Amino acid sequence: MDDTRHPNFPQTTAPDELTEGDEADEPAPRLRATDLIVPGLLFLATVFTTLWAGAYGTRTNFRVGPIDFLLQDPGALWRGIPYAATLLGILGTHELGHYLYSRRHGVPATLPMFVPGLPYLIGTFGAVIRMRGPILHRRALFDIGVAGPIAGFLVAIPALFVGLKLSTVIPVERGFGLQLGEPLIFQLVAWLVVGHLPQGQDILIHPVGLAAWFGLLVTSLNL
């Protein structure tokens, strides 16, 4: 068979044919000051919306909307710090895992870009990074892919322990608000921290635990 290639088509090598070691990677380009502008602005906006969401979740008047809540008591925003710090810590660590391993393997990537969300939900739509170059071999693809979920998981689990420790066990009839599902990891940590719940009892979860629950959800979706 003739192996002549058309001169207008570049010759490429399949990822699994390349060297799998780090020695095949070239250093990623250095960040410029302008690369910080968009991620920085998005991060500040997301800090605000997650603070807002965390504070709104502590309200006692469930008839007030998120805008009226903030206008009536702007100082209440600080009550959202435990929730916002936990959630952004988990999401940020997750994306930094992807980012740092992208840099390690010489793949140009943006800094983590947080997406602000609605204050009456969780306050953010998550965070992403953009790859600005190809991933050239399987080891890099694997490392970059798993680094984020592992990093996020290592932050979310301790946060869940702390959040459940700060939570309150209440009678079910007094429960109100959002009813969350209980994945296996949540049930295990709850059993270790709270113990067996008697019939008719439930956990009124602390904002730190709520943020950890959402962080685990994001992590599981990326596995």
pLDDT in tens, 28-37: 667 677 778 9
Tally the domains of the chain.
Answer: 1
**pLDDT exceeds 50 at position 205:** yes
Q: What is the mean pLDDT of residues 23-45?
A: 77
Whether 23 is in a domain gets the answer no
User: Of 68, 145, 73, whose CA–CA distance to 102 is shortest?
Assistant: 145
Amino acid at 101: Y
The tokens describing 115, both together, are 């997406």
Amino acid at 51: L
**Residue at 79 is within a domain:** yes
Per the domain annotation, does 27 fall within a domain? no
pLDDT of 58 strictly over 60? yes
Q: Which of 61-75, 90-104, 179-193 has the lowest mean pLDDT?
A: 179-193
Please report, rounded to a whole number, the percentage of residues in the chain having pLDDT higher than 70: 81
Highest mean pLDDT among 41-45, 64-68, 198-202: 41-45
- Report the candidate in 76, 82, 74 with the shortest Cα–Cα distance to residue 60: 76
This prediction's pTM: 0.80
Sequence-distant (6+) residues with CB within 8 A of 63 are none
Q: Alpha carbon of 70 to those of 75, 111, 182, 206, 212: distances in Å?
A: 8, 31, 31, 21, 24
Q: What is the helix, strand, coil percentage profile of the chain, to 5?
A: 55, 10, 35
Q: Please indicate whether residue 155 or residue 20 has the higher confidence score (pLDDT).
A: 155
- The answer to whether residue 175 scores a pLDDT higher than 60 is no
Which pLDDT score is estimated for 79?
Answer: 94
pLDDT of residue 77: 92
Q: Establish if 66 belongs to a structural domain.
A: yes
* Beta partners for residue 114, in sequence order: 127
Flag the least confident range among 26-30, 61-65, 184-188, 200-204.
26-30
Region 137-163: mean pLDDT is 93
Q: Is residue 186 part of a domain?
A: yes
The stretch 161-171 carries a mean pLDDT of: 91
Structural domain includes residue 6: no
Residue 188 lies in a domain: yes
Question: Residue 13 domain-assigned?
Answer: no
The alpha carbon of residue 165 and the mean position of all alpha carbons in its chain are separated, in whole angstroms, by: 22
Per-residue pLDDT, 35: 77
pLDDT at residue 19 in the model: 47
Domain that holds residue 60: 34-172+180-221
Q: Which residues contact 178 (CB under 8 A, 6 or more apart)?
A: none
